[in-house]
Amino acid sequence: MSAPILPDGGLPTAIARVDVELSSPRYPTGDRAALRRMIPGQPSPLPFYRFATRVLPDDWDRDAASRQSWMAIVAGIALMGPDAHRPDRRLGRVLAEVGYSETRLERLLAAGGDTARTLVLRTARFLAAKSAPCNWVDLAQLLLIRQAERRDDLALRIARDFYAQWA
């Protein structure tokens, strides 16, 4: 099965929509709190389904892995608070700027499945604590890309951005 990555421009648009919706002062505080508390592998709360049917791309629920990945993406953006997504701030560069360890980066880039979803949420908490928004498309792709070669290319780009800070 092909990766549930949206056509060109689709994933960035979807991530921007998630961030705008969750950053809106009109978004219900209780729903936002429920989204922050979501845990990969656990049942989704009703506020997630309400959010997903209104905001996420049509194929967000194409299979269990996609559903769980989108749940982690939404939870991570909600955890980071308003304006978590900054397209101009690539993940690797932001992680280097805020002192993310090489060991954590290695685990994040190598993980798959539920482990990857858990590590993305831990990364979101770390970035939230540092008030460091990033390009959430990078984190979403870590969860959504399934082809090994494309995932390796993504990991290489993130690692290059991380180490470019030290060059």
Domain ranges for the chain, please list them.
10-164
| 77 — pLDDT class (breaks 50, 70, 90) | very high
| 2 — pLDDT class (breaks 50, 70, 90) | very low
Q: Which CATH class is domain 10-164?
A: mainly alpha
Helix boundaries (H) for 9-98: 10-23, 29-36, 46-55, 64-80, 91-97
Q: Are 5 and 145 in contact (CB under 8 A)?
A: yes
pLDDT tens digits along 136-149: 999 999 999 999 99
Cα(101)–Cα(13) distance, integer angstroms = 30
Q: What is the pLDDT of residue 93?
A: 97
